Amino acid sequence: MINLMDNLTCQLLENRGADTDDTRTRSLKAVKDCDFYIGIFGKRNSQLTQEECKTALDNNKRCLIYIMDVKSELRDHAVNEFIDRELIPRISYHKFRNCKLFLEQIKRDLKAQMIQILRTGLETITQTKEDVKNKEHESTASIYLSPNASDTNNVLSLLETAKSEYENGRYLEALTNISAYIEILLRRNLTESKNKDYSKVPFHVLLLESLELLSQNMVTKLKVFWDIRNKAIRYGSVPSKNDVKTLIELARIMEQTFLLRLESSPILTERDRRIIASRFMEILCELDTTAISWDRIREFAIHEIWDDYLGGYNKEIVAPFVIFYFEKELGYIHQQPNKKISITPKGRKHCNEEFVLPAGL
């Protein structure tokens, strides 16, 4: 700004040349897109100059208006009329007599405006930062810390809301919903995987401790997310459209990775995992023993094992993990193509043991 003002020449453009339609369109668009408008009116100006000034006023731009202090009879009638009709009723302006005084005045005014812009900007940034933090807290507290924390639909609604905000150009709002969604996923999965309470762990700790649970691709994307989020939290920076698009893609990847775990909420404690695994094998062994004694087929539908003995746990969600563990990890059971389950000879040898499902299944 200093260099600009030091080199400013007080040469009022009395004639801008032909105001073609193309010139007019580009000029008015430039005014609509600008952050700050300075209007200087001497003895004469073009119709386009007046339109630019009116456009700035109509669009509530920050304006500094300067009018050369001359007798009205020395000024073009159209300029006098514009000043009386558009400027006097709508905005304060400065008069100047010569170029030297004009330069001094505009330097003072611009300095004052810059101070005001910085002050207003800092207040806006501070408020934006608070809004982001408060929104994140409200979203996570209302779902993760509530008695109904297992309501998956509420969690997934955060992502749907973020997509809607993105489509409507509300990128900061989209960011806060995505951030809350990712935070809930990380807290729940860390709690389950490490059997610790992560409800009050700071966000950056969640990210650090989640690295071992995630693929390298997801870790890379989370670092991008963390950078975008921090700019909003620390600097009040509104994310770009591409930023939010990237974060929605990350949320979708996390959804695919963690959704089954999320849907099995409330989170299985170590006690839950012990009860489920031990009782599953106990009931399967009992059914197998009875089938042998009655000379029946030793294959059992999951509901025969689950409904009467493990009905307190979500069969559709938890049972596939149990079957995976005992079949793929231990080799104690076998699931037939018809989905029925049988115990293997290896599994029969462990019927009287106690089991614990691994954390993170």
Q: How confident is the model at residue 146, as a pLDDT?
A: 39
Contact 354, 274 (CB under 8 A): yes
Among 31, 46, 54, residue whose Cα is nearest residue 79 = 46
Q: Which CATH architecture has domain 270-348?
A: Orthogonal Bundle (1.10)
End-to-end distance of the chain based on CA atoms, in angstroms? 60
Q: How confident is the model at residue 281, as a pLDDT?
A: 94
Sequence-ordered list of residues with C-beta below 8 angstroms from that of 214, at least 6 positions apart, any chain: 222, 257
Fold of the domain built from segment(s) 126-263 = Four Helix Bundle (Hemerythrin (Met), subunit A) (1.20.120)
Instruction: For residue 95, give the H/E element and its range.
Output: strand 94-96
Q: How confident is the model at residue 156, as a pLDDT?
A: 56
Which stretches of the chain are DSSP H helices? 2-6, 21-33, 47-58, 77-82, 99-143, 152-167, 171-194, 203-210, 216-235, 241-263, 270-293, 302-306, 315-324, 345-348
> Looking at the chain, which residues constitute the CATH 1.10.10 domain(s)?
270-348
Task: Per-residue pLDDT tens, the chain, 361 aa: give them.
Answer: 333 333 333 333 333 444 567 778 888 888 888 778 888 888 887 888 889 998 988 887 878 888 988 888 888 888 889 888 888 877 778 888 888 888 888 888 888 777 666 655 555 655 655 665 666 555 554 444 433 334 444 555 777 888 888 888 888 888 888 888 887 778 777 776 776 767 667 777 777 787 777 777 777 888 888 878 877 765 567 788 888 888 888 888 777 666 555 444 445 667 778 888 999 999 999 999 999 999 999 999 999 999 877 876 778 778 888 998 899 889 999 999 999 999 999 999 999 899 988 765 4
Residue 266, both tokens:
């409330």
Q: How confident is the model at residue 120, as a pLDDT?
A: 55
Q: How confident is the model at residue 260, as a pLDDT?
A: 52
Strand partners, 343: 333
Alpha-carbon distance 320 to 305, whole Å? 13
> Looking at the chain, which residues constitute the CATH 1.20.120 domain(s)?
126-263
Alpha-carbon distance 31 to 20, whole Å? 17
